[in-house]
Structure 1
């Protein structure tokens, strides 16, 4: 009789025992998947998965699929009260923030929440065998999954469509769902679970080094990727929004011997900084698989186009010393630079949008960039008007002097024009009584 009872208890325990396959990429983040026996038998139905990690993470995500585009993504982050997690099903739409997907049938089960510095989400999904971006065999021995997480301040939102920042680390793995099959519990993560680590798992981290360069286990230290993103996000906007416009205004607002070399040195130094920022941007884009985004492509075009500026600038300067005025390199240098720098300023906004920056951050950038760009244009217009006025005065002066009204003009025009004009110096030289033509006194700016 005792043996029969023991066999009965063993049979009951076996009937409720669930199987799951787990994968832990590091930093205290782990994922587990269970396929109930009934689902494994029919190939469709409910599946269960668990997402867990330090509560110091901004968000943690798991997705079905081999790449972000078209993947079925599940993100968790702290709710507004900070006492539970918000489960956000999303559809991957490419290299941008995934959008909320209301068609996914998911339920947040008991055992979920924030406790002991850990975020845990126990989830039941009723239609995860097929979604608008793809499908998955629930009996596959090599199902494709992607994962990601973001270290930093908590999202703290109850909304499933809350804006989130770009991931700190990401990767992909394959899970053997045949090892995850078993059990009939309505919440396998709160019952006895037989856990199996998938032997076919593989991952690609956004950091090329070991976990020592990634986020620490408590999620408090920034990763190498985070630091490079921060440096790129600081250097690139500063050069395009501030340094390039200031360098362009220097040549127009200042007037002293050697100002052209100050302008040239300023611009070359700024371009060197831009090259460094571009190198960081390319590395980030490769690590995050975003090299084909419009921000990356425009950035490469802008930096490449700016390489023509030193060439056209030197050409203008050499020809200007010979002719004393505008030449074939002058206006290409001026207008090409203005157009490319303006495109670089606009691309900075694209970068903020791509990285999932806050609305306040995007607005702040837009205000500063707009004010600086408008100030630059005002200086250009003012300088142009001033140059035209000076040229007109020189022309009138030349005509009056030729007509014998030099005494009147000496009273009308500044001493700098009277003393420095090459027009009068050449008058009468070598016995010539012909007054030379008026020259354009506008210095290239």
Structure 2
């Protein structure tokens, strides 16, 4: 045993080094590792690798295993299977890779979770070459579903994993599973659940000498130990020894002011007579329980001990020997790392919970029994004025423990809980690392424990025995202070106490006696508030009058109703079995069948199908489930009952239903709940068979129910109960017709992937007569098809409430932009015939068209994602859109290069024909004015949208006065002065003309980008601002356009340069064809 304790640190350090080395050999990982920010090996050999990247709402995870079967990754609160939120990846029989979200009720086969789309979102996965991998996103904050788990994104998270050589999901083999406590985020950690070497630290051990375990069910054995000498030392790491099979737990207590009579225990064998010892030590140093590993404090932190605090420690070892076996030998203990150097921050420990071990009992035969103990403000006011910072919590119960948490009540209101631990497993205990939670003087802490006593027939006492129960939360915090324990006690159980009843209990090691506070500081008001996680409401939405029924009628003659009893919701919030829920289906007999389901899609939804029974007098209710958009199959696991009032009467089918196990598939708390429905009109099915086939629906839809309006009452049949209150809901929406969805997608794809690119490529590369007319005809055809697709799309979006989705927003934007394209195209063609070069209308038409075509192709992919289209559709579209887009972009680049080459040849020919007399001579003044003109004009049209409004106003004294007062006045004056000087020199005109073309193109692109942002943003104020800017840019863009050709020919001045006279205040430029062209007025 001594050898084990002295070599433990080295062994674990070597194991950690091996794991670290194996995790660096990642060339075999079959996906792009750069998309993640962190990685760790989940097994010691590095054959199971986890990658992750933390996000705000969702975080991304990738897992890869050197195996050729299913692969599962679970998010657990304790490292156990119970309560784990699991992602299961496997290759299906048809060769496709599947990802399922599952929930583990215990150490059994995990069930399929009701939510397969929101909590986890599958991104990619595959299985080949003896490797299995998948990537998915998981929601950080779970919804109000028992099947989901919050992600500890700023702290440490338990991961469990399993893999197999088979894709059949069954129990894994030995060595094909494991767990790992992983640091996910960037939160600060003080206490780490790993053992590591601490520089300049010394080691000492606390050992219980070997003994024979007493042949009785429960034994507490005590040994006293002297701590290393010194005024003040610090524990910086700890590692428990090897645990025997009968070791229940051990605790090391700090002995403050130890009575001299106990010093005789030093160096002696363990004393297993707990009554004789009466442990006087009440400071908490550390504890071990099954599942716990060692831990190390971060550099600069340590737990103080020494002559100024305590010099002795009592080791308490609890043995559990239910079979009364005699003669079993055991020894155990702890190995510590410590230093005599002052640390920067001292760690303290606070005990909360049921410190008074006996005197309380748990009711037998209950699925959930709750006890709470309050740490009073009278005690916490003794903390330092600036408060303390909690860094870790160790929760402890025995075998019946289910859930436990510590709440913080500040100024009468609950804030974020200090710690929550659901699905407690005795064999998986650990010190839960916190992300530094601040506690302030005057805070009330409530420690709550919940137990399952279904297997007990007698009240279960609180006490030290293994058959009894405990409720503790040991909190590590900094800076250390003198408060050791804070809880409540029943003074009537203390014979010498003059007070009868409960009182606050505060233990301060600087005081001779505990500090008691009055019962007025205690409260049970907060006992049943839910622990953090799963985002469930903390209030009871029930009413005391009668059942609250919420009804929705998606059709005039088809209605659905729901009631959630108050007790079911309350039990759910207390993490108990939520109990029954009630719902009703109602429809005329003209329907062949009617179905109601919980969820957003058919896949994995809990579905209830109602149809006529064989005798035509009653109804059959068939619980079903589906793997996708296929006929649902009978669900044998559903526990439902048809209640009184069900049947067929007066031409109407009614099913009053009680569901007893819907907790697995329905969230009974929170706000809106998603539901789906479907029906088929036609002849009666007339069958009592729960598995009878049903034909495909002729209509279906979805709606939301506000569960707060459906919660209340306790009737066994709320639909027949007196005093029931029915509230109507009208949030239903028909789901889009599949044929219309397909027509919309096909037509829009034809327009953007085929017709528009063909028309654009022809006009850039072809050399045909009447090319402009051919181009226009093709694009008009594409636009007509797109208008039809957009009309269908708008109708579908209204039906399914999709107008707020990016796909719909981009589609509307494209519809608006392309509406002007034929007009702009015709105008630019007319101008081009006159000036024989591109104008602003040309650039606006060309670049807006290019952006629209590319954006349309991208939007097609968004549409497929929104429609949840099968993978084969996405692949086909991606291939064709990729090929078309590549050809289109390539043709545009080639066309621009061809145009640039032709322009260079034209300039060279003109220079050759004009001779040297046409060389431009630019004075320094002209160059300065030209630069000034370019800078001010760029700012004027691109960086200051408010100036556009003034720019388009007609000239008048009123407008001139407005301009002088506007923020743009200085910018406008600089622009006008510079342009006046620059325009006096013909040498500057080619540069100014090019600036006009550039600014026109930039304006067009800016307008398109601004409109795109308008449709994508969700901020209403930003939407209005962006729309205004885009409108001003579009209105101002025509002002860049060059004028029309004047009939006069250019003349040469005395310097031999080409000149044109001013014409009505307009400056005339010489074109390449030696014709005078009006330059636009400033």
**What TM-score range do you get, normalising by the shorter chain?**
0.5 to 0.7
Distance 1:55 1:122, change over 3 A: farther
- On the 8 A contact 2:553/2:730 being kept in 1, the answer is no
Contact residue 736 and residue 796 of structure 2 kept, 8 A:
no
8 Å CA contact retained: 2:562, 2:582: yes
What is the aligned partner in structure 2 of residue 124 from structure 1?
Answer: 661
State yes or no: 1:171 paired with 2:703.
yes
1:280, distance to aligned residue in structure 2 (A): 1.5
- Cα 1:326–1:82 shift into 2, 3 Å: closer
Q: How many residues align?
A: 308
Shift of 1:21: 9.6
**1:283 Cα deviation (Å)?**
1.4
Give the counterpart of 2:798 among 281, 286, 293.
286
Contact 2:674 2:705 in 1 (8 A): yes
Whole-angstrom CA distance in 1 between matches of 2:679 and 2:877: 23
Residues 1:181 and 2:712 aligned together:
no
Structure 1 Cα separation of the partners of residues 819 and 777 of structure 2:
15
- 1:291/1:75 Cα in 2 relative to 1: closer, same or farther (>3 Å)? farther
> Distance between the aligned counterparts of 2:562 and 2:765, measured in 1?
66
List per-residue Cα deviations over 1:81-138 (Å, max 9, x = no partner): 9895579xxxxxxxxxxxxxxxxxxx74389xxxxxxxx996613496754xx25xxx
Q: Where in structure 2 are the equivalents of 1:223-238 lying within 5 Å? A: 225-238=737-750
Deviations for 1:134-167, whole angstroms, at most 9, x for unmatched residues? 25xxxxxxxx765324799xxxxxxxxxxxxxx9
- Structure-1 separation of matches of 2:814 and 2:606: 35
* 8 A contact 1:34–1:181 mirrored in 2: no
Shift of 1:292: 1.1
Q: For 1:247 and 1:225, how far apart are their aligned partners in 2?
A: 32
Higher mean displacement: 305-314 or 38-47: 38-47
The answer to whether the 8 Å contact 1:206/1:225 transfers is no
> Contact 1:21 / 1:176 at 8 angstroms: preserved in 2?
yes
Deviation digits for residues 269-295 of structure 1 (CA, Å, limit 9, x no counterpart): 211221221121111111111111111
Q: Residues 334-384 of structure 1, C-alpha deviation per residue, up to 9 Å, x if partnerless?
A: 111101221111111111111111233223222211110110122223333
The 2-side partners of 1:21 and 1:302 are apart by 41
Q: Which has the higher helix share?
A: 1
- Counterparts in 2 of 1:168 and 1:110: CA distance versus 1, 3 Å: closer
Which piece of structure 1 moves more, 309-318 or 169-178? Answer: 169-178
User: How far apart, CA to CA, are the structure 2 residues paired with 1:83 and 1:74?
Assistant: 9
Alpha-carbon distance change, 168 to 368 in structure 1, aligned in 2, over 3 angstroms: farther
**1:38–1:311 CA distance, 2 compared to 1 (3 A):** closer
Structure 1: 5+ residue stretches without partners: 1-19, 88-106, 112-119, 136-143, 153-166, 184-192, 208-222, 404-435, 440-445
Q: Aligned residue for 2:626?
A: 78
Aligned partners of 2:598 and 2:605 also within 8 Å: yes
TM-score (norm 2): 0.24
Q: Distance in 1 between matches of 2:824 and 2:551?
A: 60
Once residues 904 and 822 of structure 2 are traced to their aligned partners in structure 1, the CA distance between those partners, rounded to angstroms, is 31
Secondary structure at the aligned position of 1:147 is classed as: strand
Structure 1 residues 41 and 333: alpha-carbon distance in aligned structure 2, compared to 1, 3 A threshold: closer
1:61 correspondence with 2:594: no
Residue of structure 2 aligned with 1:147, choices 663, 672, 675: 675
Q: Does residue 823 of structure 2 align to residue 311 of structure 1?
A: yes
Distance across 1 between alignment mates of 2:569 and 2:806: 42
The 3 A distance-change label for structure 1 pair 393 and 333 is same
Tell me if 1:366 matches 2:900. Answer: no
Superposition RMSD on alpha carbons, in Å?
5.1
Distance 1:129 1:376 in 2: 50
Q: Which residue of 2 aligns with 1:109?
A: 639
Whether the 8 Å CA contact 2:562–2:584 is kept in 1: the answer is no
C-alpha distance in structure 2 between counterparts of 1:60 and 1:41, whole Å: 25
Query: How far apart, CA to CA, are the structure 2 residues paired with 1:333 and 1:84?
Result: 55
Q: List runs of 5+ in structure 2 lacking aligned partners.
A: 1-548, 608-624, 642-656, 681-698, 916-1069, 1074-1082
* Secondary structure in structure 1 of the residue aligned to 2:597: strand
| Mapped pair 1:46 → 2:579 | yes
TM-score by length of 1: 0.53
Q: How does 1:180-329 map to 2 (within 5 A)?
A: 181-182=715-716, 200=727, 206-207=733-734, 225-329=737-841
Q: Is the 8 A contact 1:35 1:181 kept in 2?
A: no
- Higher relative contact order (Cα pairs below 8 Å, separated by 6+ residues): 1
In 1, are the aligned partners of 2:733 and 2:801 still within 8 Å (CA)? no
- Whole-angstrom CA distance in 2 between matches of 1:51 and 1:361: 38
